[in-house]
Structure 1
Amino acid sequence: MEKQLFVDEVRKTAEGYFQRGEFFCSEAVVKTINDLLDKPFDDSVTKLASGFPVGIGKSGCLCGAVSGGVMALGMAYGRNHGEPMQDKMFPVSADLHNHIKDMYKSTCCRVMTRNFEFASPERKAHCVKITGEVAAYVAEKLYEDGVIK
């Protein structure tokens, strides 16, 4: 599949989970990437991402989508006990952070959403877009690195 079409489909999938209310940001990214990788982890892995929405448990700190994205990158570049750290893990995680920070001028949820009332449809749409961007970024990296064929 052509890269851009592939990345757009991943973006749409993650955004759809959040838009429909099936998952919040971090969960949507983890679910989408786990499925994309043909489920290296069972579906319960999404539970691990459940504490990150709204900036880590509604604290407004690190964007939940970014947290979920780093978790998703760990699915491909992470390690098991006793294994050395893969050379790609830290740089690809930092690149995701920097990509979102370049786009939104922050990775802090309260900063990224400060122009919106929390319960507003505009804030949700904004967060859905960020979620899609993170999932697309992760998918593009996995595609470029040959993790996804």
Structure 2
Amino acid sequence: MSIETSNKILKVTGIITLIFGILGVIAGIVLIIGARALGAVADVAPGEEEAAAAVGMGATSLIVGIILLISSIVEILEGWFSVRASKDNAKIMPAWIFAILGVIGSIVTLISSIGDDTKGVAGAIVGVALSILIFIAANTIKKLNG
């Protein structure tokens, strides 16, 4: 693969990854706010079982929201560094490092989404594919630039 092709791949996949990362941050914030709302529901729930269920759902939402927020921030950084490296190949190392983190994170997401609905698995497969493309392009530039 040539440097020109790698630069185009980095730019396009970087922009797509940035968009997905921003949407993930929004979803993470919504989950965290929802967890807080479930905590408020637990305070006014009529029975112990309802209160315990609300607390459990709130804790789960909070944990998932925090994990989604962190992984989405990594995704934003992966996209940002990819777009930046597509313009200046001397700045390829951060893109390469975040591509590795992105591949690992997206594989973990794919594994955790197995058994869910097909949309979750399909989204995770797209995430793996984007991260692998970014890694291959960044690795090509890294090797060709010495």
Return the TM-score normalized by structure 1.
0.31
Higher helix share: 2
Structure whose CA Rg is larger: 2
